[in-house]
Structures are given as structure tokens and as C-alpha cells.
Amino acid sequence: VLTKRDEINKRIQSIIDEVTEPWGIKVSMVTLKAVELPEGMIRAMAHQAEAERIRRARIIEAEAERTAAKILSEAALTYEAHPIALRLRELQTYVDIAKEKNVIVITESLGARTATEAIATAFAAQKASASVSQETAK
């Protein structure tokens, strides 16, 4: 209704012209200044507009996800072809993680094959360090 005001104005003008022409009256312009809609119609239009915004947002998110997946796929191919690049990325990730507070990074280079073994290795190293400190203090 609101987007087709000009069309509605022209239609009303032609209807009025049909009735007034036999009397010699010509209407030169018709303009709708305000349109009052029932409350139910206003709610329905608002609901439709909200649904359209949600639809567009979902499309944008899906396109972003597709783009990200494509980029990750290309990165995986690069890392597969160049293992050194993968190792450099891994090291950069460690640098990024190290910037966080209270973070312990356990890597496979500690000789651990599972998280449990890594934790056990870390505790053993800590215990050995503590016992060396106690013997040195004596």
C-alpha cells in the first residue's frame, strides 16, 4: 500500500474522472496524504518486515560460512603441499596462545602421546623439580 501510492493516486483519479466528466469537471490531481491501517494489518506488516530481515541475515551468514569454508579448504591444500607452512602456522598459534594468562600448552614434543600421559609427564617434572629444590636447600 505505502510503496504504491502513485499508482493508487492515478487509479482514484481515473475513477473520479469517469464520474465527473459528464458534468464537465476535470480532476487535475489526487494525492493520498495519510493511510490509516487497521492494527492487525500493521502488526502483520511489521512481522513480515522482521521475517525478511531475519531471512537476509541468514543468507549473509550462510554466504560468510561458505566463504570461510572455501578459504579453510584452500589453506588445508596449502598446508598439505607445504608441511613447513603448517609447522609455522602451528608455532604462530602457540605464540597467540602464550599471550593469554594462566595457560599451559602441552605439545607432543614432550614425548606424550595422549593428554593423560602429557599431564603425568608435567606432574612428574614438577615433582622432580620440587625434590631437587628441597635437596639443594638442605
List Cβ neighbours of 110 (8 Å cut-off, separation of 6 or more): 118, 121, 122
Whether 21 is in a domain gets the answer: yes
Whether 24 is in a domain gets the answer: yes
The answer to whether residues 30 and 48 touch, using CB atoms and an 8 Å cutoff, is no
> Backbone phi, then psi, for 3, in 5-degree steps?
-85, -15
Kindly calculate the radius of gyration of the chain based on its CA atoms and give it in whole angstroms.
37
Whether 77 is in a domain gets the answer: no
Whether 15 is in a domain gets the answer: yes
Whether 17 is in a domain gets the answer: yes
Whether 55 is in a domain gets the answer: no
Alpha helices (runs of H) in 29-82, residue ranges in sequence order: 39-81
Which pTM does this prediction carry?
A: 0.47
Structural domains counted in the chain: 1
For residue 42, the model assigns a pLDDT of 92
The answer to whether residues 13 and 29 touch, using CB atoms and an 8 Å cutoff, is yes
Domain that holds residue 8: 1-36
Rounded CA-CA distance 30/13 in Å is 6
Whether 80 is in a domain gets the answer: no
* CA-closest candidate to residue 67, choices 78, 56, 75: 75
The sign one gets for the Cα dihedral 108, 112, 114, 120 is negative
Q: Which of 12-26, 39-53, 67-81, 122-136 has the lowest mean pLDDT?
A: 122-136
Give the model's confidence band at 134: pLDDT under 50 very low, under 70 low, under 90 confident, else very high: low
